Structure 1
Amino acid sequence: MFRHKRCSLSLKEIRVVGTALITGCSSGLGRSTALRFASEGWNVIATMRKPDPRLAELYPDRVLVQALDVTDQTSVDRSVEAGVEHFGGLDVVVNNAAVSVVSVFEATPHDVVRTVFETNLFGVMNVLRSALPHLRAGGGGTIVNISSGVGLVAVPLLALYVASKHAIEGLSEALAYELESQGINVKLIEPGAIRTTNFAANTMSTSESVSVPESYRAYFDNAIQAMVNYPFPATEEELVVETILRAATDCSSQLRYPIGPDTEEYTRLRWSTSEDCYRAEMSRLVGHASWRERT
Protein backbone atom coordinates (compact mmCIF):
# COMPACT_ATOMS: atom_id res chain seq x y z
CA MET A 1 0.00 0.00 0.00
CA PHE A 2 1.03 3.59 -0.64
CA ARG A 3 2.66 5.40 2.25
CA HIS A 4 4.15 8.86 2.60
CA LYS A 5 7.72 7.56 2.75
CA ARG A 6 7.31 6.55 -0.91
CA CYS A 7 5.64 9.66 -2.26
CA SER A 8 8.90 11.29 -3.33
CA LEU A 9 8.94 8.83 -6.24
CA SER A 10 7.64 10.00 -9.60
CA LEU A 11 4.28 8.77 -10.86
CA LYS A 12 6.05 6.59 -13.43
CA GLU A 13 8.12 4.94 -10.70
CA ILE A 14 5.07 4.06 -8.61
CA ARG A 15 2.94 1.35 -10.18
CA VAL A 16 1.08 -0.28 -7.28
CA VAL A 17 0.25 2.94 -5.54
CA GLY A 18 -2.53 2.36 -3.05
CA THR A 19 -6.26 2.88 -2.66
CA ALA A 20 -8.15 6.09 -3.44
CA LEU A 21 -11.77 6.87 -2.64
CA ILE A 22 -13.30 9.38 -5.06
CA THR A 23 -16.75 10.92 -4.75
CA GLY A 24 -19.01 12.07 -7.59
CA CYS A 25 -17.79 9.51 -10.13
CA SER A 26 -20.99 9.14 -12.15
CA SER A 27 -19.72 11.52 -14.85
CA GLY A 28 -17.42 14.41 -15.64
CA LEU A 29 -14.34 15.14 -13.59
CA GLY A 30 -15.01 12.43 -11.02
CA ARG A 31 -15.35 9.70 -13.61
CA SER A 32 -12.25 10.87 -15.50
CA THR A 33 -10.27 11.01 -12.26
CA ALA A 34 -11.31 7.49 -11.24
CA LEU A 35 -10.26 6.04 -14.59
CA ARG A 36 -6.96 7.93 -14.56
CA PHE A 37 -6.06 6.72 -11.08
CA ALA A 38 -6.86 3.15 -12.09
CA SER A 39 -4.72 3.48 -15.22
CA GLU A 40 -1.80 4.53 -12.99
CA GLY A 41 -2.08 1.41 -10.84
CA TRP A 42 -4.34 2.62 -8.05
CA ASN A 43 -7.17 0.69 -6.47
CA VAL A 44 -10.18 2.99 -6.78
CA ILE A 45 -13.34 3.12 -4.68
CA ALA A 46 -15.50 4.99 -7.21
CA THR A 47 -18.55 6.37 -5.45
CA MET A 48 -21.75 7.95 -6.73
CA ARG A 49 -25.38 8.24 -5.71
CA LYS A 50 -26.58 5.85 -8.42
CA PRO A 51 -23.93 3.18 -9.07
CA ASP A 52 -22.92 2.60 -12.68
CA PRO A 53 -21.10 -0.76 -12.92
CA ARG A 54 -19.84 0.13 -16.40
CA LEU A 55 -17.20 2.34 -14.76
CA ALA A 56 -15.37 -0.76 -13.54
CA GLU A 57 -15.40 -2.64 -16.85
CA LEU A 58 -11.98 -1.36 -18.01
CA TYR A 59 -10.31 -2.14 -14.67
CA PRO A 60 -12.43 -4.83 -12.96
CA ASP A 61 -9.67 -5.73 -10.49
CA ARG A 62 -8.89 -2.14 -9.54
CA VAL A 63 -12.21 -0.27 -9.54
CA LEU A 64 -14.95 -0.93 -7.00
CA VAL A 65 -18.16 1.01 -7.68
CA GLN A 66 -20.10 1.95 -4.57
CA ALA A 67 -23.35 3.78 -3.87
CA LEU A 68 -22.61 6.85 -1.78
CA ASP A 69 -24.74 9.89 -1.04
CA VAL A 70 -22.45 12.46 0.60
CA THR A 71 -25.44 14.03 2.38
CA ASP A 72 -26.21 10.76 4.21
CA GLN A 73 -23.64 9.79 6.86
CA THR A 74 -24.91 6.19 6.98
CA SER A 75 -24.46 5.88 3.22
CA VAL A 76 -20.96 7.35 3.47
CA ASP A 77 -19.93 5.03 6.32
CA ARG A 78 -21.25 1.98 4.51
CA SER A 79 -19.41 2.79 1.28
CA VAL A 80 -16.12 3.63 2.98
CA GLU A 81 -16.21 0.47 5.07
CA ALA A 82 -16.99 -1.68 2.02
CA GLY A 83 -14.13 -0.15 0.04
CA VAL A 84 -11.61 -0.52 2.85
CA GLU A 85 -12.64 -4.12 3.43
CA HIS A 86 -12.41 -4.90 -0.30
CA PHE A 87 -8.95 -3.38 -0.88
CA GLY A 88 -7.50 -3.70 2.62
CA GLY A 89 -6.99 -0.04 3.43
CA LEU A 90 -7.30 3.57 2.34
CA ASP A 91 -4.59 6.02 1.29
CA VAL A 92 -6.19 8.94 -0.57
CA VAL A 93 -9.60 10.62 -0.49
CA VAL A 94 -10.71 12.87 -3.36
CA ASN A 95 -13.75 14.96 -2.42
CA ASN A 96 -15.17 15.83 -5.83
CA ALA A 97 -18.97 15.64 -5.50
CA ALA A 98 -20.57 19.10 -5.78
CA VAL A 99 -23.62 20.96 -7.04
CA SER A 100 -24.27 24.56 -8.00
CA VAL A 101 -27.04 26.95 -8.93
CA VAL A 102 -27.10 30.22 -10.88
CA SER A 103 -29.58 32.44 -9.09
CA VAL A 104 -30.34 35.67 -7.28
CA PHE A 105 -29.72 34.82 -3.64
CA GLU A 106 -32.81 36.65 -2.38
CA ALA A 107 -35.06 34.52 -4.59
CA THR A 108 -33.37 31.16 -3.99
CA PRO A 109 -35.58 28.74 -2.01
CA HIS A 110 -34.26 27.48 1.28
CA ASP A 111 -34.27 23.87 0.12
CA VAL A 112 -31.91 24.79 -2.75
CA VAL A 113 -29.63 26.64 -0.31
CA ARG A 114 -29.53 23.59 1.92
CA THR A 115 -28.84 21.24 -1.00
CA VAL A 116 -25.78 23.23 -2.05
CA PHE A 117 -24.30 23.29 1.44
CA GLU A 118 -25.32 19.75 2.37
CA THR A 119 -23.47 18.51 -0.71
CA ASN A 120 -20.53 20.87 -1.11
CA LEU A 121 -19.59 21.45 2.52
CA PHE A 122 -21.30 19.05 4.92
CA GLY A 123 -20.90 16.25 2.38
CA VAL A 124 -17.14 16.74 2.45
CA MET A 125 -17.23 16.73 6.24
CA ASN A 126 -19.26 13.51 6.23
CA VAL A 127 -16.70 11.78 4.01
CA LEU A 128 -13.78 13.03 6.10
CA ARG A 129 -15.44 11.97 9.33
CA SER A 130 -15.73 8.44 7.97
CA ALA A 131 -12.39 8.21 6.16
CA LEU A 132 -9.97 9.80 8.65
CA PRO A 133 -9.85 6.85 11.08
CA HIS A 134 -8.84 4.56 8.21
CA LEU A 135 -6.14 6.97 7.01
CA ARG A 136 -4.73 7.20 10.51
CA ALA A 137 -4.87 3.43 10.97
CA GLY A 138 -2.82 3.00 7.81
CA GLY A 139 -0.11 5.40 8.94
CA GLY A 140 -1.24 8.50 7.05
CA GLY A 141 -2.45 9.54 3.62
CA THR A 142 -3.70 12.47 1.58
CA ILE A 143 -7.00 14.33 1.31
CA VAL A 144 -7.62 16.11 -1.99
CA ASN A 145 -10.53 18.56 -1.83
CA ILE A 146 -11.82 19.92 -5.13
CA SER A 147 -12.43 23.62 -4.67
CA SER A 148 -12.71 26.16 -7.50
CA GLY A 149 -11.27 29.39 -8.80
CA VAL A 150 -14.28 31.03 -7.16
CA GLY A 151 -13.10 29.60 -3.87
CA LEU A 152 -10.54 32.40 -4.08
CA VAL A 153 -12.74 35.21 -5.40
CA ALA A 154 -16.47 35.91 -5.67
CA VAL A 155 -18.75 36.30 -8.67
CA PRO A 156 -22.42 37.34 -8.89
CA LEU A 157 -25.29 34.85 -9.30
CA LEU A 158 -23.13 32.07 -7.83
CA ALA A 159 -23.29 33.27 -4.23
CA LEU A 160 -24.17 29.87 -2.78
CA TYR A 161 -21.54 27.95 -4.75
CA VAL A 162 -18.95 30.64 -3.98
CA ALA A 163 -19.79 30.56 -0.27
CA SER A 164 -19.56 26.76 -0.12
CA LYS A 165 -16.18 26.74 -1.88
CA HIS A 166 -14.84 29.53 0.35
CA ALA A 167 -15.86 27.32 3.27
CA ILE A 168 -13.97 24.38 1.75
CA GLU A 169 -10.90 26.60 1.41
CA GLY A 170 -11.03 27.54 5.09
CA LEU A 171 -11.80 24.01 6.23
CA SER A 172 -8.95 22.58 4.20
CA GLU A 173 -6.38 25.10 5.40
CA ALA A 174 -7.34 24.53 9.03
CA LEU A 175 -7.19 20.76 8.58
CA ALA A 176 -3.81 21.01 6.85
CA TYR A 177 -2.36 22.11 10.20
CA GLU A 178 -4.48 19.80 12.32
CA LEU A 179 -3.98 16.61 10.32
CA GLU A 180 -0.25 17.04 9.81
CA SER A 181 0.03 15.70 13.36
CA GLN A 182 -1.54 12.47 12.07
CA GLY A 183 0.65 12.11 9.00
CA ILE A 184 -2.15 13.23 6.70
CA ASN A 185 -1.64 15.81 3.94
CA VAL A 186 -4.44 18.11 2.74
CA LYS A 187 -4.54 19.49 -0.81
CA LEU A 188 -6.86 22.00 -2.51
CA ILE A 189 -7.49 21.76 -6.26
CA GLU A 190 -8.70 25.10 -7.66
CA PRO A 191 -9.77 24.63 -11.30
CA GLY A 192 -11.20 27.32 -13.50
CA ALA A 193 -14.20 26.88 -15.77
CA ILE A 194 -14.22 23.41 -17.36
CA ARG A 195 -16.56 23.15 -20.34
CA THR A 196 -16.10 19.47 -21.25
CA THR A 197 -18.06 18.12 -18.28
CA ASN A 198 -21.83 18.22 -17.66
CA PHE A 199 -21.47 20.25 -14.44
CA ALA A 200 -22.57 23.47 -16.13
CA ALA A 201 -25.56 21.75 -17.76
CA ASN A 202 -26.68 20.30 -14.43
CA THR A 203 -26.25 23.71 -12.82
CA MET A 204 -28.46 25.40 -15.39
CA SER A 205 -31.10 22.68 -15.02
CA THR A 206 -31.38 23.44 -11.31
CA SER A 207 -31.21 27.17 -11.93
CA GLU A 208 -34.23 27.17 -14.24
CA SER A 209 -36.45 26.33 -11.26
CA VAL A 210 -35.48 29.56 -9.46
CA SER A 211 -37.39 32.66 -10.51
CA VAL A 212 -35.73 36.03 -11.10
CA PRO A 213 -37.37 38.99 -9.32
CA GLU A 214 -38.27 41.75 -11.76
CA SER A 215 -36.16 44.29 -9.89
CA TYR A 216 -33.09 42.12 -10.55
CA ARG A 217 -33.92 41.30 -14.18
CA ALA A 218 -31.68 43.89 -15.87
CA TYR A 219 -28.74 43.03 -13.65
CA PHE A 220 -29.33 39.28 -13.98
CA ASP A 221 -29.42 39.46 -17.78
CA ASN A 222 -26.23 41.52 -17.84
CA ALA A 223 -24.41 39.10 -15.53
CA ILE A 224 -25.54 36.10 -17.58
CA GLN A 225 -24.24 37.78 -20.72
CA ALA A 226 -20.90 38.30 -18.96
CA MET A 227 -20.81 34.55 -18.27
CA VAL A 228 -21.56 33.81 -21.92
CA ASN A 229 -18.76 36.19 -22.95
CA TYR A 230 -16.35 34.74 -20.40
CA PRO A 231 -12.96 36.30 -21.25
CA PHE A 232 -10.82 33.27 -20.41
CA PRO A 233 -10.15 30.05 -22.33
CA ALA A 234 -11.63 26.90 -20.79
CA THR A 235 -9.60 24.94 -18.28
CA GLU A 236 -8.65 21.56 -19.72
CA GLU A 237 -10.25 18.67 -17.87
CA GLU A 238 -7.23 16.44 -18.45
CA LEU A 239 -4.98 19.03 -16.81
CA VAL A 240 -7.21 19.07 -13.75
CA VAL A 241 -7.15 15.26 -13.55
CA GLU A 242 -3.37 15.28 -13.89
CA THR A 243 -3.09 17.83 -11.09
CA ILE A 244 -5.34 15.79 -8.80
CA LEU A 245 -3.12 12.77 -9.39
CA ARG A 246 0.03 14.78 -8.76
CA ALA A 247 -1.38 16.30 -5.56
CA ALA A 248 -2.28 12.84 -4.28
CA THR A 249 1.39 11.84 -4.30
CA ASP A 250 2.92 15.20 -3.36
CA CYS A 251 4.42 15.17 0.13
CA SER A 252 5.37 18.85 0.04
CA SER A 253 3.61 21.43 2.18
CA GLN A 254 1.86 22.90 -0.89
CA LEU A 255 -1.81 23.37 -0.09
CA ARG A 256 -3.30 25.10 -3.14
CA TYR A 257 -3.08 23.97 -6.77
CA PRO A 258 -4.62 26.69 -9.01
CA ILE A 259 -5.37 25.44 -12.52
CA GLY A 260 -6.44 27.32 -15.64
CA PRO A 261 -6.00 30.84 -17.01
CA ASP A 262 -8.94 32.28 -15.08
CA THR A 263 -7.86 30.88 -11.72
CA GLU A 264 -4.31 32.07 -12.34
CA GLU A 265 -5.61 35.58 -12.98
CA TYR A 266 -7.91 35.42 -9.95
CA THR A 267 -4.95 34.36 -7.83
CA ARG A 268 -2.86 37.28 -9.10
CA LEU A 269 -5.64 39.78 -8.43
CA ARG A 270 -6.51 38.44 -4.99
CA TRP A 271 -2.99 38.14 -3.61
CA SER A 272 -0.80 40.46 -5.67
CA THR A 273 -2.81 43.68 -5.96
CA SER A 274 -4.49 46.18 -3.69
CA GLU A 275 -8.08 45.69 -2.57
CA ASP A 276 -9.22 48.59 -4.76
CA CYS A 277 -7.47 47.16 -7.82
CA TYR A 278 -8.85 43.71 -7.13
CA ARG A 279 -12.43 44.94 -6.79
CA ALA A 280 -12.22 47.13 -9.90
CA GLU A 281 -10.80 44.39 -12.10
CA MET A 282 -13.18 41.71 -10.83
CA SER A 283 -16.08 44.11 -11.37
CA ARG A 284 -14.99 44.39 -15.00
CA LEU A 285 -14.51 40.64 -15.47
CA VAL A 286 -17.96 39.71 -14.14
CA GLY A 287 -19.79 42.44 -16.06
CA HIS A 288 -20.67 44.49 -13.01
CA ALA A 289 -18.74 47.52 -14.26
CA SER A 290 -20.59 47.58 -17.59
CA TRP A 291 -23.95 47.34 -15.80
CA ARG A 292 -23.08 50.30 -13.57
CA GLU A 293 -22.09 52.38 -16.59
CA ARG A 294 -25.54 51.85 -18.11
CA THR A 295 -27.49 52.72 -14.96
Structure 2
Amino acid sequence: MINDNPVYPGYIGPVNNTRETDMKTILITGSSSGYGFETARHFHAEGWTVIATMRCPRPELYPASERIRLLALDVTDADSIAAAIEAAGPIDVLVNNAGIGVVGAFEATPMAHIRKVFETNTFGVMAMTQAAIPGMRTRGTGTIVNVTSSVTLAPMPLAAAYTASKQAIEGFTGSLAHELGAFGIGAKLVEPGYAPTTQFAANTDIPVMDLIPEAYADYAAPIFAGYANPPLMTKESDVAEAIWRAVHDTSGQLRFPAGADAVALMEQA
Protein backbone atom coordinates (compact mmCIF):
# COMPACT_ATOMS: atom_id res chain seq x y z
CA MET A 1 0.00 0.00 0.00
CA ILE A 2 1.26 3.47 -0.85
CA ASN A 3 1.67 5.73 2.17
CA ASP A 4 1.31 9.41 1.28
CA ASN A 5 3.41 10.48 4.24
CA PRO A 6 4.35 14.18 3.98
CA VAL A 7 7.89 13.39 5.08
CA TYR A 8 8.41 10.93 2.25
CA PRO A 9 5.49 10.93 -0.26
CA GLY A 10 4.95 7.63 -2.02
CA TYR A 11 7.04 5.58 0.38
CA ILE A 12 5.91 1.97 0.48
CA GLY A 13 5.96 1.16 4.19
CA PRO A 14 7.44 -2.11 5.44
CA VAL A 15 5.36 -5.07 6.44
CA ASN A 16 5.66 -4.80 10.21
CA ASN A 17 4.26 -7.69 12.22
CA THR A 18 6.62 -7.18 15.15
CA ARG A 19 5.26 -6.33 18.58
CA GLU A 20 7.16 -3.75 20.62
CA THR A 21 7.89 -6.40 23.26
CA ASP A 22 9.73 -8.46 20.64
CA MET A 23 12.13 -5.66 19.74
CA LYS A 24 14.63 -5.89 22.56
CA THR A 25 18.21 -6.05 21.26
CA ILE A 26 19.91 -3.07 19.65
CA LEU A 27 23.44 -2.73 18.26
CA ILE A 28 24.77 0.81 18.06
CA THR A 29 27.98 1.87 16.34
CA GLY A 30 30.08 4.74 17.66
CA SER A 31 28.91 4.32 21.26
CA SER A 32 31.86 5.77 23.14
CA SER A 33 30.49 9.32 23.11
CA GLY A 34 27.89 11.68 21.69
CA TYR A 35 24.75 10.41 20.04
CA GLY A 36 25.72 6.74 20.24
CA PHE A 37 26.46 6.86 23.95
CA GLU A 38 23.23 8.71 24.75
CA THR A 39 21.21 6.34 22.57
CA ALA A 40 22.69 3.35 24.36
CA ARG A 41 21.75 4.89 27.72
CA HIS A 42 18.23 5.66 26.50
CA PHE A 43 17.44 2.17 25.23
CA HIS A 44 19.01 0.51 28.26
CA ALA A 45 16.83 2.64 30.53
CA GLU A 46 13.81 1.41 28.58
CA GLY A 47 14.69 -2.22 29.27
CA TRP A 48 16.45 -3.14 26.05
CA THR A 49 19.59 -5.21 25.68
CA VAL A 50 22.22 -2.87 24.28
CA ILE A 51 25.27 -3.91 22.28
CA ALA A 52 27.43 -0.80 22.40
CA THR A 53 30.25 -0.90 19.85
CA MET A 54 33.31 1.28 19.46
CA ARG A 55 36.85 0.93 18.19
CA CYS A 56 38.29 0.59 21.70
CA PRO A 57 35.73 -0.58 24.28
CA ARG A 58 35.57 1.60 27.39
CA PRO A 59 33.68 -0.32 30.09
CA GLU A 60 34.18 2.52 32.56
CA LEU A 61 31.60 4.53 30.60
CA TYR A 62 28.76 2.10 31.22
CA PRO A 63 27.16 0.64 34.35
CA ALA A 64 27.60 -3.04 35.08
CA SER A 65 24.50 -4.68 33.63
CA GLU A 66 23.65 -7.99 32.03
CA ARG A 67 21.77 -5.96 29.41
CA ILE A 68 24.85 -4.02 28.26
CA ARG A 69 27.52 -5.63 26.12
CA LEU A 70 30.53 -3.77 24.76
CA LEU A 71 32.14 -4.96 21.54
CA ALA A 72 35.17 -3.72 19.62
CA LEU A 73 34.16 -2.61 16.14
CA ASP A 74 35.83 -0.64 13.37
CA VAL A 75 33.23 -0.04 10.67
CA THR A 76 35.97 0.44 8.08
CA ASP A 77 37.37 -3.07 8.65
CA ALA A 78 35.56 -6.06 7.13
CA ASP A 79 37.02 -8.57 9.57
CA SER A 80 36.04 -6.38 12.52
CA ILE A 81 32.48 -6.11 11.22
CA ALA A 82 32.17 -9.86 10.71
CA ALA A 83 33.52 -10.61 14.18
CA ALA A 84 31.19 -8.10 15.84
CA ILE A 85 28.09 -9.36 14.02
CA GLU A 86 28.93 -12.94 14.96
CA ALA A 87 29.60 -12.04 18.58
CA ALA A 88 26.43 -9.98 18.83
CA GLY A 89 24.09 -12.78 17.83
CA PRO A 90 20.53 -11.95 16.73
CA ILE A 91 19.82 -8.22 16.76
CA ASP A 92 16.48 -6.53 16.29
CA VAL A 93 17.79 -3.05 15.57
CA LEU A 94 21.00 -1.75 14.00
CA VAL A 95 21.84 1.92 14.52
CA ASN A 96 24.57 3.12 12.18
CA ASN A 97 25.79 6.11 14.15
CA ALA A 98 29.59 6.10 13.83
CA GLY A 99 30.79 9.05 11.79
CA ILE A 100 33.54 11.58 11.28
CA GLY A 101 33.75 14.96 9.58
CA VAL A 102 36.06 17.34 7.80
CA VAL A 103 35.52 21.08 8.09
CA GLY A 104 37.28 23.38 5.65
CA ALA A 105 37.44 24.67 2.12
CA PHE A 106 36.96 21.82 -0.30
CA GLU A 107 39.84 22.87 -2.55
CA ALA A 108 42.23 22.61 0.40
CA THR A 109 40.96 19.25 1.67
CA PRO A 110 43.29 16.37 0.72
CA MET A 111 41.59 13.56 -1.15
CA ALA A 112 42.99 11.15 1.44
CA HIS A 113 40.86 12.82 4.09
CA ILE A 114 37.81 12.90 1.86
CA ARG A 115 38.18 9.16 1.29
CA LYS A 116 38.55 8.64 5.04
CA VAL A 117 35.24 10.41 5.64
CA PHE A 118 33.49 8.26 3.05
CA GLU A 119 35.03 5.05 4.40
CA THR A 120 33.35 5.67 7.76
CA ASN A 121 30.23 7.67 6.95
CA THR A 122 29.21 5.93 3.74
CA PHE A 123 30.95 2.62 3.10
CA GLY A 124 31.05 1.76 6.81
CA VAL A 125 27.28 2.20 7.03
CA MET A 126 26.75 0.13 3.90
CA ALA A 127 29.04 -2.66 5.14
CA MET A 128 27.35 -2.84 8.55
CA THR A 129 23.93 -2.87 6.92
CA GLN A 130 24.91 -5.61 4.51
CA ALA A 131 26.22 -7.70 7.39
CA ALA A 132 23.03 -7.28 9.46
CA ILE A 133 20.43 -7.88 6.75
CA PRO A 134 20.68 -11.70 6.42
CA GLY A 135 19.82 -12.36 10.05
CA MET A 136 16.93 -9.89 10.00
CA ARG A 137 15.62 -11.27 6.72
CA THR A 138 15.73 -14.84 8.02
CA ARG A 139 13.75 -13.83 11.11
CA GLY A 140 11.38 -11.66 9.07
CA THR A 141 11.80 -8.62 11.27
CA GLY A 142 14.20 -5.83 12.16
CA THR A 143 14.94 -2.15 11.80
CA ILE A 144 18.00 -0.34 10.46
CA VAL A 145 18.42 3.27 11.54
CA ASN A 146 21.02 5.36 9.73
CA VAL A 147 22.09 8.57 11.43
CA THR A 148 22.87 11.27 8.89
CA SER A 149 22.71 15.03 9.48
CA SER A 150 20.63 18.13 8.91
CA VAL A 151 23.20 19.09 6.25
CA THR A 152 21.17 16.77 4.02
CA LEU A 153 18.25 19.18 4.47
CA ALA A 154 20.31 22.36 4.07
CA PRO A 155 23.97 21.86 3.11
CA MET A 156 26.25 24.03 5.19
CA PRO A 157 29.38 25.75 3.86
CA LEU A 158 32.89 24.44 4.48
CA ALA A 159 31.62 20.88 4.85
CA ALA A 160 31.26 19.65 1.27
CA ALA A 161 32.86 16.23 1.75
CA TYR A 162 30.92 15.53 4.93
CA THR A 163 27.66 16.63 3.31
CA ALA A 164 28.28 14.40 0.30
CA SER A 165 28.99 11.38 2.49
CA LYS A 166 25.72 11.86 4.37
CA GLN A 167 23.66 12.62 1.26
CA ALA A 168 24.75 9.27 -0.15
CA ILE A 169 23.28 7.51 2.88
CA GLU A 170 19.99 9.37 2.44
CA GLY A 171 19.51 7.88 -1.03
CA PHE A 172 20.84 4.51 0.09
CA THR A 173 18.36 4.30 2.96
CA GLY A 174 15.42 5.41 0.86
CA SER A 175 16.13 2.66 -1.62
CA LEU A 176 16.60 0.07 1.14
CA ALA A 177 13.26 1.00 2.66
CA HIS A 178 11.60 -0.23 -0.52
CA GLU A 179 13.54 -3.45 -1.07
CA LEU A 180 13.68 -4.58 2.57
CA GLY A 181 10.07 -3.75 3.39
CA ALA A 182 8.93 -6.93 1.67
CA PHE A 183 10.89 -8.91 4.28
CA GLY A 184 9.49 -7.08 7.31
CA ILE A 185 12.62 -4.96 7.76
CA GLY A 186 12.35 -1.22 8.25
CA ALA A 187 14.95 1.32 7.12
CA LYS A 188 14.90 4.75 8.75
CA LEU A 189 16.86 8.00 8.71
CA VAL A 190 17.56 10.18 11.75
CA GLU A 191 18.83 13.64 10.83
CA PRO A 192 20.45 15.47 13.76
CA GLY A 193 20.99 19.20 13.73
CA TYR A 194 24.12 21.01 14.82
CA ALA A 195 25.63 19.79 18.08
CA PRO A 196 29.08 21.21 18.93
CA THR A 197 29.59 18.64 21.69
CA THR A 198 29.93 15.81 19.18
CA GLN A 199 33.52 16.81 18.26
CA PHE A 200 32.61 16.93 14.58
CA ALA A 201 36.14 16.62 13.16
CA ALA A 202 37.91 14.93 16.06
CA ASN A 203 38.94 11.80 14.12
CA THR A 204 40.31 13.33 10.95
CA ASP A 205 43.87 13.97 12.18
CA ILE A 206 44.08 17.41 10.61
CA PRO A 207 43.52 20.84 12.22
CA VAL A 208 40.51 22.68 10.83
CA MET A 209 42.44 25.88 10.18
CA ASP A 210 44.88 24.00 7.97
CA LEU A 211 41.98 23.63 5.55
CA ILE A 212 41.21 27.35 5.39
CA PRO A 213 43.53 28.96 2.80
CA GLU A 214 44.19 32.67 3.11
CA ALA A 215 41.86 33.37 0.20
CA TYR A 216 38.98 31.94 2.27
CA ALA A 217 39.79 33.68 5.56
CA ASP A 218 37.33 36.55 5.25
CA TYR A 219 34.61 34.24 4.01
CA ALA A 220 35.16 31.64 6.74
CA ALA A 221 35.38 33.98 9.76
CA PRO A 222 31.66 34.82 10.08
CA ILE A 223 30.70 31.22 9.33
CA PHE A 224 32.81 29.90 12.20
CA ALA A 225 31.43 32.65 14.42
CA GLY A 226 27.95 31.43 13.59
CA TYR A 227 28.89 27.86 14.41
CA ALA A 228 30.16 29.02 17.80
CA ASN A 229 26.86 30.75 18.65
CA PRO A 230 24.02 29.03 16.79
CA PRO A 231 20.48 30.28 17.49
CA LEU A 232 19.30 26.67 17.74
CA MET A 233 21.19 23.47 18.36
CA THR A 234 20.62 19.78 18.90
CA LYS A 235 21.06 17.96 22.21
CA GLU A 236 22.31 14.40 22.32
CA SER A 237 19.06 13.42 24.03
CA ASP A 238 17.14 14.80 21.01
CA VAL A 239 18.89 12.28 18.80
CA ALA A 240 18.33 9.36 21.18
CA GLU A 241 14.63 10.20 21.33
CA ALA A 242 14.41 10.50 17.53
CA ILE A 243 16.03 7.08 17.15
CA TRP A 244 13.53 5.69 19.66
CA ARG A 245 10.66 7.11 17.60
CA ALA A 246 12.12 5.77 14.37
CA VAL A 247 12.51 2.28 15.79
CA HIS A 248 8.89 2.20 16.99
CA ASP A 249 7.34 3.84 13.94
CA THR A 250 4.89 1.73 11.95
CA SER A 251 3.59 4.45 9.63
CA GLY A 252 6.21 4.11 6.91
CA GLN A 253 7.84 7.45 7.75
CA LEU A 254 11.42 7.52 6.52
CA ARG A 255 12.96 10.72 7.90
CA PHE A 256 13.12 11.78 11.54
CA PRO A 257 14.74 15.17 12.18
CA ALA A 258 16.38 15.44 15.60
CA GLY A 259 16.76 18.75 17.41
CA ALA A 260 15.00 22.10 17.12
CA ASP A 261 17.24 23.31 14.31
CA ALA A 262 16.77 20.16 12.25
CA VAL A 263 13.00 20.28 12.72
CA ALA A 264 12.98 23.92 11.58
CA LEU A 265 14.97 23.01 8.47
CA MET A 266 12.60 20.15 7.69
CA GLU A 267 9.61 22.48 7.97
CA GLN A 268 11.27 24.96 5.58
CA ALA A 269 12.14 22.31 3.01
* TM-score, L = length of structure 1: 0.80
Equivalent position to 1:73, from 75, 78, 81: 78
Quick one: distance in 2 between partners of 1:37 and 1:48?
A: 17
For the residues of structure 2 that align with 1:42 and 1:123, how far apart are their CA atoms?
25
| Residue 227 (str. 1) matches residue 227 (str. 2) | yes
The alpha carbon displacement at 1:120 in A equals 0.3
Amino acid at match of 1:236: K
SS at match of 2:249: coil
Letter in 1 for 2:95: V
How far apart in 1 are the matches of 2:264 and 2:62?
A: 38
Q: Which protein has greater RCO, CA pairs closer than 8 Å, 6+ apart?
A: 2
In structure 2, the CA distance between the partners of 1:55 and 1:211, relative to structure 1 (3 Å rule), is: closer
Q: TM-score, normalised by structure 2?
A: 0.88
**Amino acid across the alignment from 2:84:** S
Whether the 8 Å CA contact 2:101–2:162 is kept in 1: the answer is yes
Secondary structure of the equivalent of 2:238? helix
Q: In 2 relative to 1, CA 112–209 (structure 1 residues): closer, same or farther, beyond 3 Å?
A: farther
Flag the 1:70–1:39 CA change in 2: closer, same or farther, 3 A: same
Select between 208-217 and 25-34 the one with higher mean Cα deviation. Answer: 208-217
Alignment of 1:243 onto 2:249: no
* 1:24-49 deviations in Å (ceiling 9; x for gaps): 00111111111221221211111101
**Secondary structure of 2:183's match?**
coil
AA aligned to 2:33 is S
More helix by share: 1
Within 5 A, what are the aligned runs for 1:147-186? Answer: 147-186=148-187
* Secondary structure class of the residue paired with 2:130: helix
What's the CA shift string for 1:255-291, capped at 9, x where partnerless?
0111222212322332xxxxxxxxxxxxxxxxxxxxx
Task: Please report how far the alpha carbon of residue 205 of structure 1 lies from its aligned counterpart in structure 2 after TM superposition.
Answer: 6.8
Alignment partners' CA distance in 2, 1:203 and 1:103: 14
Looking at structure 2, the residues matched to 32 and 208 of structure 1 have their Cα atoms a distance apart, in angstroms, of: 26
Q: Match for 1:175: what amino acid?
A: L
Aligned: 1:37 with 2:28:
no
Contact 2:18 2:141 in 1 (8 A): no
Q: Indicate conservation of the 8 Å contact 1:46/1:66, yes or no.
A: yes
* Equivalent residue number for residue 124 of structure 2: 123
Find the residue that maps to 1:5 and give its secondary structure.
coil
Q: Secondary structure at the match of 1:97?
A: coil
Counterparts of 1:1-295 in structure 2, within 5 Å, are 4-7=16-19, 9=20, 14=21, 17-59=23-65, 61-84=66-89, 89-195=90-196, 197-200=197-200, 202=202, 206-208=206-208, 210-230=210-230, 232-270=231-269
- The structure whose Rg is larger is 1
Change (3 A) 1:203 1:268: farther
Which amino acid in the other structure matches residue 146 of structure 2? N
Counterpart-to-counterpart distance in 2, 1:183 and 1:67:
29
The secondary structure found in structure 1 opposite 2:101 is coil
CA drift at 1:202? 2.1
Report if the CA contact (8 A) 2:102-2:201 is conserved.
Answer: no
Assess if the C-alpha contact under 8 Å between 2:100 and 2:201 holds in 1: no
Conserved 8 A contact 2:104-2:209: no
Asked whether the equivalents of residues 23 and 47 of structure 1 are also in contact (C-alpha less than 8 Å), the reply is yes
Structure with greater proportional strand content: 2
**Cα distance, 1:203 vs. partner?**
6.8
Aligned partner letter, 2:228: V
Give unmatched runs, 5+ long, in structure 2: 1-14
Quick check: 61-70 or 238-247, which moved more? Answer: 238-247
Instruction: Give ranges in structure 1 of 5+ residues lacking alignment.
Output: 271-295
SS at match of 1:190: strand
Residue range with higher mean Cα deviation, 48-57 or 159-168: 48-57
Identical-residue share of aligned pairs (%): 44
- Give the letter aligned to residue 161 of structure 1: Y
- Cα distance, 1:53 vs. partner? 2.1
CA contact (8 A) 1:26 1:52 kept: yes
Give the Å deviation of 1:17: 3.8
SS in 1 for 2:210: coil
Cα deviations by residue, 1:207-265 (Å, 9 ceiling, x for unpaired): 437342222222122322232342x3222221221121121122220101112222123
